[in-house]
C-alpha cells in the first residue's frame, strides 16, 4: 500500500480525499496476476465498512479461474472488461443476515467503495459493474451461489493499462443546499 501517515491512529483527511479524488474506473488491464496479499487487503477493506446494527450483510466470491471469468463475461454487455480482468470480486447481499433492505444495500455500497479505494491505493485498477445485475440469476448459477445471496455487483480488478482517465463531477454548489432546500450553498470561496 502507498504510504499513509497516521497521527494517533487517524489518517489525515488529505490522504483520504486524495485517494477519493484520484480513483477512476479502470476497464483495461494488463493481465498481470494480483497477489494474494493484495486480494486479502481489498477484502479486509470491504469487511470494515459500516453496516446497520453491524450486521455485515456482504458476502464475496473471489473469482480468478479463467473459465469462470469467461462464463461471467457472458452475463454482461461489459464482457470485454470482465474477460480482461485477472480478478473478480463478486459482491452479494446475504439475505440470511438481513436487517433492512435499504440499509443493507447502502452498507454494501460502502463496502464496495472501500474496496475500490484500497485498489486505488494499491495501484490496482478496478471498476464497479452494475449492469450485470440484469443477469443476476445466471451469475448465481455459474458460481453455485444460493438464492439467499443476492448479487449486488461485480468488481473487475487488475493492473491498469497506463492511460489518462478523466472523469467529472457536478460542483458542490450544484448538489448542495444551505440549511433548507432551495437556498444555495455558498460555503466555499474557491472552486474545488
Ligand atoms: C452502481 C454502479 C454501477 C456501475 N455499473 C457500471 C457498469 O456496469 N459498467 C461500467 O463500465 N461501469 C459501471 N460503473 C462505473 C461508473 O460508470 C463510473 O463510476 C462513473 O462513470 C464515474 O467514473 P469514475 O468512477 O471514473 O469516476 C458503475 C458505478 C456504480 C456506482
**Boundaries of every domain in the chain:** 18-175
Nearest CA to ligand 1 atom 1: 130
pLDDT at 48: 98
d(CA 77, CA 132): 8
Pocket test of ligand 1: the residue of 20, 25, 88, 119 to mutate, having most ligand atoms within 8 Å of its CB, is 25
Ligand 1 close to Cβ of residue 129 (< 6 A) = yes
Give distance in angstroms: CA of 26 to centre of ligand 1: 9
- Of 102, 69, 110, 103, nearest in space to 86 by CA: 69
Inter-residue contact 153 to 134 (CB < 8 Å):
no
Pocket test of ligand 1: the residue of 88, 106, 127 to mutate, having most ligand atoms within 8 Å of its CB, is 127
Ligand 1 close to Cβ of residue 96 (< 6 A) = no
3-state per-residue secondary structure call for 116-179: HHHHHHCCCEEEEECHHHHHHHHHHHHCCCCCCEEEEEEEEEECECCCCCCCCCCCHHHHCECC
pLDDT at 155: 99
Q: Which CATH class is domain 18-175?
A: alpha beta
Give distance in angstroms: CA of 25 to centre of ligand 1: 7
Residue with the bigger pLDDT between 95 and 188: it is 95
Mean of pLDDT values over 142-150: 98
pLDDT digits (tens, 9 = 90+) for 167-187: 999 999 999 999 999 999 986
pLDDT at 40: 98
Mean of pLDDT values over 111-119: 98
Give distance in angstroms: CA of 129 to centre of ligand 1: 6
pLDDT at 186: 80
pLDDT digits (tens, 9 = 90+) for 51-61: 999 999 999 99
184 three-class SS: strand
Axis-axis angle for helices 13-22, 101-121 (nearest 10): 90
In this prediction the pTM is: 0.93
Ligand 1 close to Cβ of residue 108 (< 6 A) = no
Inter-residue contact 118 to 42 (CB < 8 Å):
yes
pLDDT at 127: 99
d(CA 63, CA 90): 7
First to last CA, the chain: 27
d(CA 112, CA 58): 9
- Of 127, 170, 155, nearest in space to 23 by CA: 127
Amino acid at each position: 500500500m502507498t504510504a499513509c501517515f497516521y497521527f494517533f491512529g487517524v489518517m489525515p483527511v488529505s490522504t483520504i480525499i486524495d485517494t477519493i479524488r484520484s480513483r477512476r474506473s479502470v476497464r483495461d488491464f494488463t493481465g498481470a496476476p494480483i497477489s494474494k496479499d493484495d486480494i486479502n487487503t481489498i477484502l479486509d477493506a470491504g469487511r470494515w465498512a459500516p453496516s446497520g446494527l453491524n450486521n455485515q450483510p456482504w458476502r464475496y466470491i473471489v473469482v480468478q479461474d479463467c473459465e469462470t471469468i469467461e462464463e461471467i463475461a457472458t452475463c454482461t454487455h461489459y464482457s470485454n472488461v470482465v474477460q480482461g480482468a485477472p480478478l473478480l470480486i463478486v459482491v452479494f447481499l446475504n439475505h440470511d443476515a438481513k436487517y433492512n433492505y435499504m440499509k443493507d444495500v447502502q452498507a454494501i455500497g460502502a463496502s464496495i467503495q472501500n474496496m475500490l479505494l484500497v485498489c486505488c491505493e494499491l495501484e490496482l485498477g478496478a471498476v464497479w459493474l452494475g449492469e450485470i445485475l440484469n443477469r443476476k440469476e445466471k451469475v448465481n448459477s455459474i458460481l453455485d451461489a444460493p438464492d439467499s445471496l443476492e448479487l449486488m455487483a461485480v468488481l473487475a480488478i487488475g493492473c491498469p493499462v497506463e492511460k489518462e482517465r478523466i472523469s467529472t463531477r457536478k460542483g458542490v454548489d450544484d448538489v448542495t443546499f444551505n440549511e433548507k432546500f432551495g437556498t444555495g450553498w455558498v460555503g466555499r470561496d474557491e472552486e474545488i
